[in-house]
A and B are shown apart, each in its own frame.
Chain A
């Protein structure tokens, strides 16, 4: 069975290779090749899943060793895959949502002349993402990690004739590279500490930790913090979150797949996978929760102020991943719930993005929500599926988000002590803001009066429902958004499934589960009510009002970009410019100066050779005289 694991990756990789090197001949069928290979990968995933289910909980780990990758004295990296419950969960999410989004893209990218290439990149992404979650050591994970970064770079910049898209792509890659630096240092630390960076020997299992037990807490904290830096980059957590908003320059299916459902959750995967390291480094765990908590609020606040529907959703993604990171930082209390929220979020956020894409498709690619309004009449399917996703994300009772988010808030309180109260409070506050901004998106888009106007050339948008290839994936994802949470939670199915890998403890909550649920409901209602008062009862102005200081700051991503621009970009420009100057004048100057002074000296010496026989005679007589004088002097002495 384990021989199938490589095929999971091979199928989309083959697709990418064929589509990217195939040339124009494949233009007509390229999208189908891509979609079918994604589906093939999903089928392999399903077969493996069935196989795992047939085994005992303890035996559900498959290892496939392919070849020795880097063999050097004392250093060994293998191409080995590990399929356990955690990676299985991701495989199903990635290939499942991935296949749906491939299908959706067929319709969405229909009029793009480079559609074949788009599918090639999507397949490349799938392969890299699967490699990321299936790798059995950190270095191989790193390959997938940067592979998804590359795919993300290519897809954000897919419409690269737009300078904004090219810049956004570059920014995403660069910010991620800062995170990658963390991963790279973490691997180096592991190597010097343990002599290996394979999951098995280093991490062990949650009952029986591996080499990590022998290491000092300081080292482990160092490794954990570096892993966190990596996770911050990939999962758009503060302080490396600035790329995600810009990444919305990419086509919408990309935003749905990469920047909502899968790639951005890789950071959470990394933390949960490295649970045994974090468990032994409580200081690092605290930092993880702080990062998660801050990002949760940061993303939510940004999401409240954006008028661009995709950027509002991007803020929301950031905030939801903040929840997951927060949960992952809680340790064994939270790991399972982090992953559960990750999966349900994968469904509803992908659905929301596809819905947004569908709206844009019908609105001539308009993204400003202030120019929507009343769309529910024109796009019923989109409205219903988007609405279900909306209810799921705000945590409407019974839907997916309710189960998963509620558990995280509970777990945050269960952390205990002041810490628990603060984290729980932040999570609750986040839930309220989520309810506010998502209601705002919903109201501005689908309710109220129509606010669109003819564009500069006089074309008025004619909102219409999207084709079947687009609505079917939305419907499937809406099903997931509605039922996944309940399915997972009934009888703690998800908990039992994942527990053998991550471990689980209940913690000691100062408040009962019921209280938490009630409190969540209350803040939810408050959030929805405020949003309704602001955007439902009053008409939405087409031109954004100036807004308060906070609103204006939030529109500019809470000024992080401005900070980056002033400190990093400007500072960097000055640094490089002055270094270029230094290299030219100082380093090169020393050399050229030496050359010039030698030249100058020779120039002066040359003047002695004036060609007059008499002056040569003078020097001869002078020399002779000096010689005679010297001889006499020597004799006298």
Chain B
């Protein structure tokens, strides 16, 4: 199968993820969408690795997974503590930086 199709799929997944981040308010959903974007990138890396015939892309994909795992830990912690203090997981309720 043509590896370019994987790239199309990656772009599609990334777009879905990005749109989700921008329009959804539930922090958990936003978070899942971020994961979706990260994995879209991973797919692209792996596809590139296959196309170019070296392993760089696959190595980067592992890095990404590590970072994503760390991010999940921190992010979920934030969301949980936010939910505890505000009894809501909506990102719009956390607008403390507004003047």
Direct contact between A and B in the complex (CB less than 8 angstroms)? yes
**Contacting residues, chain B, for A613 (C-beta < 8 A):** 91, 94
Q: Closest approach, in angstroms, between the C-beta of B15 and any C-beta of chain A?
A: 11
Closest to A613 in B: B91
Task: Say yes or no: A621 contacts B22, CB within 8 Å.
Answer: yes
User: Which single member of A606, A614, A617, A621 contacts B99 (CB below 8 Å)?
Assistant: A606
Known: A621-B18, A621-B22. A614 touches B98 (CB 8 A): no
Task: Say yes or no: A611 contacts B97, CB within 8 Å.
Answer: yes
User: Which single member of B21, B91, B94, B97 contacts A609 (CB below 8 Å)?
Assistant: B97
Q: Closest approach, in angstroms, between the C-beta of B25 and any C-beta of chain A?
A: 8
A606 vs B98: C-alpha distance when bound (angstroms): 9
Task: Say yes or no: A612 contacts B96, CB within 8 Å.
Answer: no
15-35 of chain B: CB within 8 A of chain A: 18, 21-23, 25
A617 vs B23: C-alpha distance when bound (angstroms): 10
Task: Say yes or no: A612 contacts B92, CB within 8 Å.
Answer: yes
Task: Say yes or no: A617 contacts B92, CB within 8 Å.
Answer: no
Q: Is B5 an interface residue (CB 8 A)?
A: no
63-99 of chain B: CB within 8 A of chain A: 91-92, 94-99
A618 vs B91: C-alpha distance when bound (angstroms): 14
606-633 of chain A: CB within 8 A of chain B: 606, 609-614, 617-618, 621
Task: Say yes or no: A614 contacts B92, CB within 8 Å.
Answer: yes
Closest to B92 in A: A612
**Contacting residues, chain B, for A621 (C-beta < 8 A):** 18, 22
Known: A613-B91, A613-B94. A618 touches B99 (CB 8 A): no
Closest to B25 in A: A614
**Contacting residues, chain A, for B21 (C-beta < 8 A):** 614, 617
**Contacting residues, chain A, for B25 (C-beta < 8 A):** 614
Known: A606-B99, A609-B99. A614 touches B22 (CB 8 A): yes
573-618 of chain A: CB within 8 A of chain B: 606, 609-614, 617-618
**Contacting residues, chain B, for A612 (C-beta < 8 A):** 91-92, 95, 98
Q: Closest approach, in angstroms, between the C-beta of B82 and any C-beta of chain A?
A: 11
**Contacting residues, chain A, for B97 (C-beta < 8 A):** 609, 611
Interface centre among A606, A613, A618 (most CB of B within 10 A): A613
Task: Say yes or no: A611 contacts B98, CB within 8 Å.
Answer: yes
**Contacting residues, chain B, for A611 (C-beta < 8 A):** 95-99
User: Which single member of A609, A617, A618 contacts B98 (CB below 8 Å)?
Assistant: A609
Task: Say yes or no: A610 contacts B95, CB within 8 Å.
Answer: yes
Chain A contact residues, majority secondary structure: helix
A611 vs B23: C-alpha distance when bound (angstroms): 15
A255 vs B78: C-alpha distance when bound (angstroms): 95
Q: Closest approach, in angstroms, between the C-beta of A269 and any C-beta of chain B?
A: 77
A617 vs B21: C-alpha distance when bound (angstroms): 8
Known: A606-B99, A609-B99. A617 touches B22 (CB 8 A): yes
**Contacting residues, chain B, for A609 (C-beta < 8 A):** 97-99
**Contacting residues, chain B, for A618 (C-beta < 8 A):** 22
Closest to B94 in A: A613
**Contacting residues, chain B, for A610 (C-beta < 8 A):** 95, 98
A248 vs B97: C-alpha distance when bound (angstroms): 77
Q: Closest approach, in angstroms, between the C-beta of A629 and any C-beta of chain B?
A: 15
**Contacting residues, chain A, for B92 (C-beta < 8 A):** 612, 614
**Contacting residues, chain A, for B99 (C-beta < 8 A):** 606, 609, 611
**Contacting residues, chain A, for B96 (C-beta < 8 A):** 611
Q: Closest approach, in angstroms, between the C-beta of B35 and any C-beta of chain A?
A: 15
Q: Closest approach, in angstroms, between the C-beta of A421 and any C-beta of chain B?
A: 91
Q: Closest approach, in angstroms, between the C-beta of A590 and any C-beta of chain B?
A: 29
**Contacting residues, chain A, for B18 (C-beta < 8 A):** 621
Q: Closest approach, in angstroms, between the C-beta of A609 and any C-beta of chain B?
A: 7
Q: Closest approach, in angstroms, between the C-beta of B44 and any C-beta of chain A?
A: 14
A613 vs B98: C-alpha distance when bound (angstroms): 10
Q: Closest approach, in angstroms, between the C-beta of B93 and any C-beta of chain A?
A: 10
A614 vs B22: C-alpha distance when bound (angstroms): 5
A609 vs B94: C-alpha distance when bound (angstroms): 13
Q: Closest approach, in angstroms, between the C-beta of A481 and any C-beta of chain B?
A: 90
A612 vs B30: C-alpha distance when bound (angstroms): 13
Closest to A621 in B: B18
A613 vs B79: C-alpha distance when bound (angstroms): 13
**Contacting residues, chain A, for B22 (C-beta < 8 A):** 614, 617-618, 621
A87 vs B88: C-alpha distance when bound (angstroms): 104
**Contacting residues, chain A, for B23 (C-beta < 8 A):** 614
**Contacting residues, chain A, for B95 (C-beta < 8 A):** 610-612
A609 vs B98: C-alpha distance when bound (angstroms): 6
Q: Closest approach, in angstroms, between the C-beta of A199 and any C-beta of chain B?
A: 77
Closest to B34 in A: A617
A336 vs B98: C-alpha distance when bound (angstroms): 93
The proximity string for A residues 307-325 relative to B, scoring 1 for CB distances below 8 Å and 0 otherwise, is 0000000000000000000
Q: Closest approach, in angstroms, between the C-beta of A614 and any C-beta of chain B?
A: 6
Q: Closest approach, in angstroms, between the C-beta of A605 and any C-beta of chain B?
A: 11
**Contacting residues, chain A, for B94 (C-beta < 8 A):** 613
503-523 of chain A: CB within 8 A of chain B: none
A594 vs B61: C-alpha distance when bound (angstroms): 54
A518 vs B99: C-alpha distance when bound (angstroms): 102
A612 vs B22: C-alpha distance when bound (angstroms): 10
A372 vs B94: C-alpha distance when bound (angstroms): 97
Interface centre among A614, A618, A621 (most CB of B within 10 A): A614
A621 vs B25: C-alpha distance when bound (angstroms): 17
Closest to B23 in A: A614
Interface centre among A609, A611, A618, A621 (most CB of B within 10 A): A611
Q: Closest approach, in angstroms, between the C-beta of A627 and any C-beta of chain B?
A: 15
Closest to A615 in B: B22
Q: Closest approach, in angstroms, between the C-beta of A606 and any C-beta of chain B?
A: 6
Apart from A609-B98, A610-B98, A611-B99, 12 more pairs, CB < 8 Å? A606-B99, A609-B97, A609-B99, A610-B95, A611-B95, A611-B96, A612-B91, A612-B92, A614-B21, A614-B25, A614-B91, A621-B18
9 tightest Cβ-Cβ pairs between the two chains A and B: A611-B98, A611-B95, A611-B97, A613-B91, A610-B98, A612-B95, A617-B21, A614-B22, A612-B92
Q: List 28 A-B contacts (CB under 8 A).
A: A606-B99, A609-B97, A609-B98, A609-B99, A610-B95, A610-B98, A611-B95, A611-B96, A611-B97, A611-B98, A611-B99, A612-B91, A612-B92, A612-B95, A612-B98, A613-B91, A613-B94, A614-B21, A614-B22, A614-B23, A614-B25, A614-B91, A614-B92, A617-B21, A617-B22, A618-B22, A621-B18, A621-B22
